[in-house]
Amino acid sequence: MFAAGATFLVLSCQLKNMPKYQATIQFEMNDEFMEGVPPHRTYINFLINKGIIDHYAVSMETQRAWITMNAEDKKEVEKLLKKSPLFNFWTIEIDELFVLDGQHYRLPEVNPN
C-alpha cells in the first residue's frame, strides 16, 4: 500500500506525463569556467522558474553537480544542458528516474487547531 505522499507523487507524474531525469555532472574549474558561472546561474534560474528543473545542487569539494529535470526524454535533457555557458567544461551522465521521493513531494501534514 502506498502512503498518501507517494500516491500524490505517482498521480503528479501521471498528470504531467513527463519523466524525471537526474543529470550528474563532473566539472573542472579554471578562470574561464568561473567567468561563465553568472550567466549559467541566470539560465538555471530560468529553468527552475519554468518548472523544468526541480533540484540543483553543486559540490565544490568534488567538483560535481546534480540536476533533477522534467523532460520528454534524455535528448531533451541534453539539449537543455547544452545551452549552459558551462557545458564545454562538463562530463555528463543522464539517468531516467524510476522513483523520486522526499519531503517536498508529500502532502502537507494536517494539524487540527
pLDDT (0 to 100) of residue 15 = 38
C-alpha distances in angstroms, 78 versus 25, 74, 82, 84?
12, 6, 6, 10
Q: What is the pTM of this model?
A: 0.78
Is 109:31 a contact under the CB 8 Å cutoff? no
Q: How far apart are CA 39 and CA 18, in angstroms?
A: 27
- All structural domains of the chain: 18-97 (3.30.70.1060)
For the stretch 60-102, pLDDT in tens is: 999 999 999 999 999 999 999 999 999 999 999 999 999 888 8
Cell numbers found for residue 1: 500500500
